[in-house]
Structure 1
């Protein structure tokens, strides 16, 4: 028999991070590249300000 995953073991901290997509211009080709990163919610503005 297959084991069931227990949902009550989750701590609910998955929403403290956000996926941020930043558009960066490549120095070699001049084309735009999208950079994706998981950033803590409190540091999103700092990440986008760079």
Structure 2
């Protein structure tokens, strides 16, 4: 998967994106999992503030 992200970032406009990794707690087990998403650099703070799950 890392190669795919790196290849995407090398395209024109690819530097406008940031990979956001968020720890999400499961309601059933209480264990944490990690959710990875590509978000526009301008929207990172907004994305983290909303608490998207």
In the superposition, the TM-score normalised over structure 1's length comes to 0.72
The structural deviation recorded for 1:12 is 2.2
The structural deviation recorded for 1:11 is 6.3
Unmatched runs of 5 consecutive residues or more in structure 1: 1-9
* Residue-pair matches, total: 41
Which structure is higher in helix share?
Answer: 2
* SS of equivalent to 2:12: coil
Could you tell me how far apart the structure 1 residues matched to 2:11 and 2:23 are?
Answer: 33
Could you tell me how far apart the structure 2 residues matched to 1:36 and 1:11 are?
Answer: 20
Structure 1 segments, 4+ long, off by >4 Å, are: none
* SS of equivalent to 2:28: coil
